[in-house]
A and B are shown apart, each in its own frame.
Chain A
């Protein structure tokens, strides 16, 4: 009973662990110092594949420099840049416009500069302005109605119609909550704007949601919408176009999308260069806004892209909501109101 081999086990795991630690550390440090590699970021899954195959490939072909792709989400990346502003661990960061503005105002970002980006002339100025000049958008999604064709035969044409018919109980709506960050724009700002509300008072939006509430089922995470629709728990909801089509392509041919007449809210994804990142990162950003890789990205992701020269294929053209049919939310001005919005949502809607 006294002779236990436990110590040997601990010794072995300890040694294995230490060996692993040593083997990974130097190589990691090395990769960061090597000038012929940069680190860029991407969301996971099919996103990452697209970033790697189109943008990183284009960048590598033109410059001979390779790029490591870091997975995760913008909050994490911006925090990492903020923590080491003098030696940022990331050289080009994908993020929402709102986060890029926050980082830009904190002095962490280089301004977008046409002299350094030869492709910038093909991108509409609004896609730089929406980031206050700290970043440039390369793709966007529009928040319209995703719905089950079989159960919703006559889909609503506008937000007003959607709210009225949901309140009447014609269907169950799957509703996003601000726990998923884009909901602040896709739902709160979208409805507030439609019903004539101002940024400092979202009562019109909250009233609309209160009217619909009894016929809504609220999400926990972004994939809940798809689960709700496929399991029959809900029939329709506000959802970004690209995600609806991505799901359609997996074989769920019962799903469809419609852009409301007021215009679905546009949420762009942008890219920025942290201060003190090497200049070669500009070339990567240039690849991100180049027509050829963007066209491939749109084809794969079903999302609209920002370079004017991109010609969409016949497959994705009818799916992508043209950006002039969307509403651009005033992202820079919304920031200071968010705390108040969320507090009111928590207290009054309570989900």
Chain B
């Protein structure tokens, strides 16, 4: 009984309610949301107002749009912007493709191995990033494990340059971010009754059709969560880029780190972070609208 209405859940809530109870529900909702909203207003929005102002001050207290002019009209900085978003899209897509089957396995087949799988998933996050990078260096180096293996098996003739380029950066990022995708999807899949899939199959749908028509739409919220988290985390990461990319890939967080650490140009750093915040928020909003619409229509 419960499972049948799962798909159209959000629509059902609103269907038969009168305006008055809707209003009451809204004020109840407001009370639930208020504490978190107030907390973030005080400790997130207010501190950043100051930061926002700083980005318009250049040199000795002199108001200017120079920073933004540079970020939006200089070809180099536009490229950086593109690379930041491009990298996030690629990493999110790879995490989704790699993570979904694992999430499915975790929920449906793992049985008593579940805890072990979860532990193995999060283990990379528990080791220092610098040592983890060292691990990848050992594996990817010109005379490293992977190249040795590929040469011995005759798959390649000369060692491949994996390090200090996009390959090692993407591998390094996927390695730490895929758990966020898997667990986000798994926590939603968990709520889907397996009988729903069984019924679909009994009614004659093949495995693929069942997956595409039943399982996938129902887990869309999990996919959305996972994609948002991975996208945002990639957008903001710089340590992996720095350590595995050898500086060959330029993204906004990496430049922000440079401004902070080397040039001490906090005005430009603030402008970059504001640009990033706005772009990320737009992506976030679009993603949320998309999931919401899809979810409601089921």
Contacts and interface: CB of A to CB of B under 8 A. Distances in A.
Contact of A231 (B130, B137, B243): B137
A181 B261 contact: yes
Interface residues of A, number: 29
Contacts of A339: 259, 263, 265, 268
Nearest to A183: B262
B82 to A, nearest CB: 15
Interface stretch (B1-9, B11-19, B244-252): B244-252
Contacts of A217: 164, 246
A13 interface: no
Interface string B117-134: 000000000000010011
Interface in B96-140: 130, 133-134, 137-138
A179 B262 contact: yes
Contacts of B76: 346-347
A208 interface: no
Nearest to B267: A339
Contact of A220 (B141, B143, B243): B243
A227 interface: yes
A54 B262 CA distance: 30
B133 A179 contact: no
A106 to B, nearest CB: 11
Given A217-B164, A218-B164, A351 B247 contact: yes
Given A218-B248, A233-B141, A346-B76, A338 B262 contact: yes
B258 interface: yes
Interface string A160-189: 000000000000000001110100100000
Contacts of B265: 338-339
Contact of B262 (A178, A219, A351): A178
B192 interface: no
Contact of B247 (A177, A227, A335): A177
B241 to A, nearest CB: 8
A217 B142 CA distance: 12
B242 A102 contact: no
Contacts of A98: 264
B191 to A, nearest CB: 13
Q: Is the interface of B mostly helix, strand, loop or mixed?
A: helix
A104 B203 CA distance: 78
Contacts of A75: 260-261
A48 to B, nearest CB: 18
Interface residues of B, number: 31
B142 to A, nearest CB: 6
Interface in B132-185: 133-134, 137-138, 141-144, 164
Contact of B263 (A224, A232, A342): A342
B242 A221 contact: yes
B68 interface: no
Given A179-B261, A342-B263, A351 B248 contact: yes
B261 A220 contact: no
Contacts of B257: 179
Interface string A226-238: 0100011100000
Nearest to A181: B262
A350 interface: yes
Contacts of B134: 227
Given A220-B247, A346-B255, A346-B258, 8 more contacts: A102-B264, A218-B248, A227-B137, A232-B142, A233-B142, A338-B263, A338-B264, A342-B263
Closest CB pairs A-B (n = 4): A220-B243, A351-B247, A338-B263, A218-B246
Interface of A: 75, 98-99, 102, 177-179, 181, 184, 217-221, 223-224, 227, 231-233, 335, 338-339, 341-342, 346-347, 350-351
